[in-house]
Protein backbone atom coordinates (compact mmCIF):
# COMPACT_ATOMS: atom_id res chain seq x y z
CA UNK A 1 0.00 0.00 0.00
CA UNK A 2 1.40 3.47 -0.88
CA UNK A 3 2.72 5.46 2.05
CA UNK A 4 3.47 9.02 2.98
CA UNK A 5 7.19 9.15 3.71
CA UNK A 6 8.94 11.73 5.85
CA UNK A 7 12.59 12.55 6.29
CA UNK A 8 14.48 12.79 8.49
CA UNK A 9 12.90 10.69 11.22
CA UNK A 10 14.70 12.77 13.85
CA UNK A 11 16.18 16.25 13.54
CA UNK A 12 18.13 18.00 16.26
CA UNK A 13 18.79 21.70 15.84
CA UNK A 14 19.95 24.64 17.89
CA UNK A 15 17.59 27.42 18.84
CA UNK A 16 17.55 30.10 16.18
CA UNK A 17 18.49 27.78 13.33
CA UNK A 18 16.30 27.05 10.33
CA UNK A 19 15.06 23.54 9.59
CA UNK A 20 13.34 21.99 6.62
CA UNK A 21 11.19 18.93 7.13
CA UNK A 22 10.54 16.87 4.05
CA UNK A 23 7.62 14.76 2.95
CA UNK A 24 6.79 12.70 -0.09
CA UNK A 25 3.00 12.40 -0.24
CA UNK A 26 1.23 9.52 -1.94
CA UNK A 27 1.69 10.07 -5.65
CA UNK A 28 -1.88 10.62 -6.85
CA UNK A 29 -2.95 12.72 -3.88
CA UNK A 30 -3.83 16.37 -4.35
CA UNK A 31 -4.26 17.74 -0.83
CA UNK A 32 -1.33 18.04 1.55
CA UNK A 33 -1.12 18.86 5.23
CA UNK A 34 1.24 19.40 8.13
CA UNK A 35 0.25 18.56 11.68
CA UNK A 36 2.18 18.85 14.92
CA UNK A 37 2.14 16.79 18.12
CA UNK A 38 3.95 18.09 21.17
CA UNK A 39 5.10 15.20 23.36
CA UNK A 40 2.19 13.71 25.28
CA UNK A 41 -0.38 16.00 23.71
CA UNK A 42 -2.92 15.76 20.92
CA UNK A 43 -2.24 16.15 17.23
CA UNK A 44 -2.79 19.73 16.02
CA UNK A 45 -3.47 21.05 12.52
CA UNK A 46 -0.90 23.46 11.11
CA UNK A 47 -1.63 24.00 7.43
CA UNK A 48 -3.35 22.61 4.37
CA UNK A 49 -2.05 23.00 0.81
CA UNK A 50 -3.84 22.50 -2.47
CA UNK A 51 -3.18 23.58 -6.03
CA UNK A 52 0.19 25.02 -5.07
CA UNK A 53 -1.09 27.34 -2.41
CA UNK A 54 -2.07 27.34 1.23
CA UNK A 55 -5.79 26.72 1.59
CA UNK A 56 -6.01 27.05 5.35
CA UNK A 57 -3.68 27.56 8.30
CA UNK A 58 -4.01 27.53 12.05
CA UNK A 59 -2.98 30.23 14.49
CA UNK A 60 0.13 28.15 15.23
CA UNK A 61 1.29 28.60 11.63
CA UNK A 62 2.72 32.10 11.91
CA UNK A 63 5.37 33.88 9.84
CA UNK A 64 8.00 31.56 11.24
CA UNK A 65 6.57 28.73 9.15
CA UNK A 66 6.32 28.21 5.43
CA UNK A 67 5.43 25.34 3.12
CA UNK A 68 6.46 24.55 -0.40
CA UNK A 69 5.94 21.95 -3.06
CA UNK A 70 9.19 22.50 -4.95
CA UNK A 71 8.63 19.72 -7.48
CA UNK A 72 6.03 17.12 -8.33
CA UNK A 73 6.79 14.85 -5.43
CA UNK A 74 8.09 16.69 -2.37
CA UNK A 75 6.22 18.79 0.16
CA UNK A 76 8.30 20.68 2.70
CA UNK A 77 7.79 22.56 5.96
CA UNK A 78 10.34 25.22 6.77
CA UNK A 79 10.68 26.59 10.27
CA UNK A 80 12.79 29.73 10.51
CA UNK A 81 14.60 30.70 13.68
CA UNK A 82 13.48 27.70 15.70
CA UNK A 83 12.41 28.08 19.32
CA UNK A 84 12.51 25.55 22.15
CA UNK A 85 8.72 25.26 22.02
CA UNK A 86 8.92 24.11 18.38
CA UNK A 87 10.15 20.74 19.67
CA UNK A 88 7.49 18.24 18.61
CA UNK A 89 6.61 15.48 16.18
CA UNK A 90 5.66 16.93 12.82
CA UNK A 91 3.37 14.81 10.68
CA UNK A 92 2.77 15.21 6.98
CA UNK A 93 -0.51 13.92 5.55
CA UNK A 94 -2.08 13.68 2.13
CA UNK A 95 -5.35 12.70 0.54
CA UNK A 96 -7.17 12.73 -2.78
CA UNK A 97 -10.56 13.00 -1.15
CA UNK A 98 -10.79 10.21 1.38
CA UNK A 99 -9.53 10.40 4.99
CA UNK A 100 -6.00 11.61 5.56
CA UNK A 101 -3.02 9.28 5.33
CA UNK A 102 -0.28 10.29 7.76
CA UNK A 103 3.44 9.74 7.55
CA UNK A 104 5.45 8.43 10.49
CA UNK A 105 6.59 11.91 11.41
CA UNK A 106 9.79 13.81 12.03
CA UNK A 107 10.76 14.31 15.63
CA UNK A 108 12.20 17.81 15.91
CA UNK A 109 14.29 18.58 18.96
CA UNK A 110 15.36 22.17 19.48
CA UNK A 111 18.18 22.61 22.00
CA UNK B 1 -11.65 26.82 17.92
CA UNK B 2 -13.40 23.49 18.14
CA UNK B 3 -12.60 21.20 21.04
CA UNK B 4 -13.07 17.47 21.32
CA UNK B 5 -13.29 15.91 24.76
CA UNK B 6 -12.13 12.31 24.64
CA UNK B 7 -12.56 9.86 27.48
CA UNK B 8 -11.25 7.97 29.21
CA UNK B 9 -7.68 9.28 29.19
CA UNK B 10 -6.32 5.78 29.78
CA UNK B 11 -7.54 2.23 30.20
CA UNK B 12 -5.91 -0.87 31.64
CA UNK B 13 -7.72 -4.04 30.66
CA UNK B 14 -7.23 -7.78 30.47
CA UNK B 15 -6.88 -9.55 27.16
CA UNK B 16 -10.31 -10.63 25.95
CA UNK B 17 -12.20 -7.75 27.51
CA UNK B 18 -14.23 -5.27 25.52
CA UNK B 19 -13.28 -1.59 25.45
CA UNK B 20 -15.31 1.53 24.87
CA UNK B 21 -14.15 5.12 24.43
CA UNK B 22 -15.94 8.24 23.28
CA UNK B 23 -15.59 11.81 22.14
CA UNK B 24 -17.92 14.71 22.63
CA UNK B 25 -17.92 18.25 21.38
CA UNK B 26 -19.94 21.40 21.64
CA UNK B 27 -19.49 21.82 17.87
CA UNK B 28 -21.14 19.91 15.05
CA UNK B 29 -18.83 17.86 12.87
CA UNK B 30 -19.58 16.48 9.41
CA UNK B 31 -17.08 13.65 9.67
CA UNK B 32 -15.82 11.63 12.59
CA UNK B 33 -12.64 9.59 12.33
CA UNK B 34 -10.91 7.20 14.67
CA UNK B 35 -7.14 6.76 14.48
CA UNK B 36 -4.66 4.56 16.32
CA UNK B 37 -1.11 5.69 17.00
CA UNK B 38 1.70 3.31 17.91
CA UNK B 39 4.88 4.68 19.54
CA UNK B 40 7.07 6.59 17.10
CA UNK B 41 4.57 6.33 14.27
CA UNK B 42 1.89 8.45 12.69
CA UNK B 43 -1.84 8.03 13.24
CA UNK B 44 -3.37 5.18 11.26
CA UNK B 45 -7.00 5.39 10.26
CA UNK B 46 -9.29 2.79 11.83
CA UNK B 47 -12.80 3.91 10.94
CA UNK B 48 -14.36 6.87 9.12
CA UNK B 49 -17.95 7.99 9.73
CA UNK B 50 -19.76 10.37 7.41
CA UNK B 51 -23.42 10.42 8.40
CA UNK B 52 -25.23 11.10 11.64
CA UNK B 53 -26.33 7.81 13.18
CA UNK B 54 -23.93 5.77 11.06
CA UNK B 55 -22.63 2.62 12.71
CA UNK B 56 -19.55 1.10 11.06
CA UNK B 57 -17.44 -1.94 11.87
CA UNK B 58 -13.88 -2.85 10.97
CA UNK B 59 -13.16 -6.32 12.30
CA UNK B 60 -13.38 -6.17 16.09
CA UNK B 61 -13.83 -2.40 16.01
CA UNK B 62 -17.19 -0.67 15.87
CA UNK B 63 -17.76 3.07 15.81
CA UNK B 64 -20.82 5.26 15.67
CA UNK B 65 -21.47 8.82 14.55
CA UNK B 66 -23.83 10.39 17.09
CA UNK B 67 -27.26 11.56 16.01
CA UNK B 68 -26.55 15.09 17.23
CA UNK B 69 -23.28 15.09 15.20
CA UNK B 70 -21.50 16.19 18.35
CA UNK B 71 -20.24 12.84 19.55
CA UNK B 72 -18.86 9.46 18.55
CA UNK B 73 -17.81 6.27 20.26
CA UNK B 74 -15.41 3.46 19.46
CA UNK B 75 -15.78 -0.07 20.78
CA UNK B 76 -13.14 -2.76 20.62
CA UNK B 77 -14.35 -6.28 21.30
CA UNK B 78 -12.27 -9.18 22.62
CA UNK B 79 -9.11 -7.11 23.02
CA UNK B 80 -5.71 -8.58 22.19
CA UNK B 81 -2.20 -7.42 23.16
CA UNK B 82 -1.60 -5.72 19.80
CA UNK B 83 -4.52 -3.38 20.49
CA UNK B 84 -2.13 -1.49 22.78
CA UNK B 85 -1.62 2.08 21.65
CA UNK B 86 -3.17 5.52 21.70
CA UNK B 87 -6.58 5.96 20.12
CA UNK B 88 -7.61 9.37 18.84
CA UNK B 89 -10.94 10.61 17.67
CA UNK B 90 -10.90 13.39 15.10
CA UNK B 91 -13.64 15.54 13.68
CA UNK B 92 -13.84 17.45 10.46
CA UNK B 93 -16.08 20.36 9.62
CA UNK B 94 -17.33 20.19 6.06
CA UNK B 95 -16.01 23.55 4.94
CA UNK B 96 -12.46 22.84 6.06
CA UNK B 97 -11.46 19.77 4.13
CA UNK B 98 -8.72 17.80 5.82
CA UNK B 99 -8.50 20.17 8.76
CA UNK B 100 -9.02 17.73 11.59
CA UNK B 101 -9.60 18.53 15.22
CA UNK B 102 -8.19 15.74 17.37
CA UNK B 103 -9.21 14.55 20.79
CA UNK B 104 -6.64 14.20 23.56
CA UNK B 105 -6.31 10.47 23.02
CA UNK B 106 -7.05 7.32 25.02
CA UNK B 107 -4.02 5.27 26.06
CA UNK B 108 -4.96 1.60 25.96
CA UNK B 109 -2.95 -1.03 27.81
CA UNK B 110 -3.90 -4.69 27.43
CA UNK B 111 -2.55 -7.20 29.92
CA UNK B 112 -2.10 -10.72 28.54
Q: Is the dihedral of CA A42, A47, A51, A55 positive or negative?
A: positive
Given a cut of 90, whether residue B95 has pLDDT beyond it is no
Chain A with chain B: Cβ pairs closer than 8 A: 55
Indicate if the pLDDT at residue B96 is higher than 70: no
**Confidence at residue A98, expressed as pLDDT on a 0 to 100 scale:** 76
Digit-coded pLDDT (tens) for A58-82: 999 999 999 999 887 899 999 999 9
Q: Is a pLDDT exceeding 90 seen at residue B5?
A: yes
- pLDDT tens, residue by residue, B28-75: 999 999 999 998 889 999 999 999 999 999 999 999 999 999 999 999
pLDDT at position A1 over 90? no
Contact A11, A19 (CB under 8 A): yes
When scoring B98, B103, B105 by the number of chain A Cβ atoms within 10 A, the one with the most, hence best to mutate, is B98
Q: Report the mean per-residue pLDDT for chain B.
A: 93
- Mean pLDDT of all residues in B11-36: 95
* Mutation for testing the A interface, residue in B29, B43, B65, B93 having most A CBs under 10 Å: B43
Residue A92: exposed, middle, or buried by beta-carbon count in 10 A (0-12, 13-18, 19+)? buried
User: What's the CA gap between B13 and B84, in Å, rounded?
Assistant: 10
Name the residue facing B99 among A45, A91, A98 (closest C-beta).
Answer: A45
B40: left (phi over 0), alpha (psi -120 to 50) or beta: left
- Measured CB to CB, residues of chain B less than 8 Å from chain A are 1, 31, 33, 35, 40-45, 48, 88, 90, 96-105
Higher-pLDDT residue of A73, B108: B108
The answer to whether A60 contacts chain B (CB < 8 Å) is no
Examine the pLDDT at B2 and tell me if it is beyond 80. Answer: no
Amino acid sequence: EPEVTQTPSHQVTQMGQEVILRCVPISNHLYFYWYRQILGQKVEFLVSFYNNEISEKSEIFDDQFSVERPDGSNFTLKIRSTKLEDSAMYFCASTRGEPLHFGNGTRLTVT
Amino acid sequence: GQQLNQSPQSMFIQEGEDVSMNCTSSSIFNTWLWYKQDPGEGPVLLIALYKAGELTSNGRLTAQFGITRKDSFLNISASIPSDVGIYFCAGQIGTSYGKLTFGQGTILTVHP
